[in-house]
Amino acid sequence: MNRKLISLVICFMMLFTLAACTKTNVSTSSDTKQTTSTPDTKDAPEEKETAEAPAAANEADPKITLKIGFSTNEEDPRALAAKEFKAEVEKKTNGSVTVELYPSGQLGGDAALIESMALDSGTVDIIITDASNFATYVPKMGISALPFQFKDFEEAWAFMDSDIEADAEALLIEHNMRVLAHYDNGFRCVTSNSPVNSSKDMTGILIRTPENPVIMATMKALGANPQPLAFSELYMALQQGTYDAQENPIPVIYNNKLHEVQKNLAITNHIYSGMCFTISESIWNKMSETQKGVVSEAAVASQKYNRELNKKMTDDYLALLKEAGMTITTPELAPFVEATASVAEELKDTYGDLLTRAKEWKASR
């Protein structure tokens, strides 16, 4: 009995020891697992923060959307340059500024776009339109559009980048408009139902123009009857015969297929059409200094692209318009120059010292 009892006690003790060892191993394994997993849990957020570092660097910058509106289609040099602007801005702001393009007058014609910006309606944030179109708000803005003022693209570009133009543009700030760059639209020419072989052929024709005081005054001086119309409505109006003629630069004529509804082109080059890449002052003031720097630099970079592209298209598309069946005339321009000399004189009170400075600038070239 004693031996049996002793054996039972020994067995019991062995079982107790085994159970204790098993519990210790489980506990140790569990502790090891917790110790191993703890660093993983702490490391994960740190790795995530590192991955998102670029976004964190822009947390102070507001999220801005810039809506760009213009009257011509997506093939126009201003549209192609605006795409370059969009890519540059979105890349260099890491997406804090996004750009949306609205071509073909989707947000309104030139006059409506300018009015929307002046009223700070929020409809549009950047507009690309002829500098002289702003003359309805700041009359001095017509100074770059005086007839027969520049002999070539390079001279026109130099004027647009001059202090004379800058002083006129400074007056736009109080109307919620800030000019960042100068795009090129080219030299304006006349298309018509009947050929224009001389200045006399302009007499009495009903010609579509933008709502632009200088262009309208120039057409009146030539004896024509200018009537404003939004560019987005022009093709249909010409197709229906509502107008006898219209005037625009060669790339605009070709890219917007105006040669389909008018068969005659006169190379008059009567007015240079320099465009202002203009941002709403209110949206400008919402951007951080970093964003302003990127947007400003991208505008100037796209300006260079636009100018060279427009100049090339002017040369290339003239041949294409001829191939498309247009009758192209090159009238003697001296009578045109003489007839329109009165335009600057009529506007001398409007332009004041800017006109004197422009004449001095021209004489110094």
124 contacts 116 by C-beta, under 8 angstroms: yes
Please tell me whether residue 190 adopts helix, strand or coil conformation: strand
Q: What tokens appear for 186 in the block?
A: 């080219």
- Check whether 56 has a pLDDT greater than 50: no
pLDDT digits (tens, 9 = 90+) for 144-197: 999 999 999 999 999 999 999 999 999 999 999 999 999 999 999 999 999 999
* DSSP code, position 232: G
Determine the pLDDT at residue 365.
87
- pLDDT confidence tier of residue 58, bands split at 50, 70 and 90: low
Q: Is pLDDT of 44 > 70? A: no
pLDDT at 252: 96
DSSP 292-331: HHHHHHHHHHHHHHHHHHHHHHHHHHHHHHHHTT-EEE--
CATH number of 61-363: 3.40.190.170
More confident: 64 or 365: 64
Percent of the chain with pLDDT over 70: 84
Q: pLDDT category, 60, cuts 50, 70, 90?
A: confident
Q: What's residue 15's pLDDT?
A: 41
Please give the Cα distance from 326 to 129 (Å, whole number): 27
Q: Could you identify the residue written with the tokens 């109307």?
A: 175
Q: What is the mean pLDDT of residues 20-49?
A: 38
pLDDT digits (tens, 9 = 90+) for 133-150: 999 999 999 999 999 999
Q: Is the pLDDT of residue 212 over 80?
A: yes
Contact 339, 111 (CB under 8 A): no
Contact 259, 240 (CB under 8 A): no
The secondary structure of residue 194, as a DSSP letter, is S
Closest CA to 237 of 190, 193, 185: 193
pLDDT for the residue 21: 39
CB 291 within 8 A of CB 297: no
d(CA 225, CA 216): 8
- For residue 122, the tally of other CB atoms under 10 A from its CB is 12
d(CA 284, CA 291): 9
In this predicted structure, what is the pLDDT of residue 264? 98
Per-residue pLDDT at 9 exceeds 90: no
Q: How far apart are CA 344 and CA 356, in angstroms?
A: 11
Q: What mean pLDDT is predicted for residues 249-263?
A: 97
Q: Environment class of residue 172 by beta-carbon count within 10 Å: exposed (0-12), middle (13-18) or buried (19+)? A: buried
Query: pLDDT per residue over 301-342, tens digit each?
Result: 999 999 999 999 999 999 999 999 999 999 999 999 999 999
**Given a cut of 70, is residue 3 above it in pLDDT?**
no
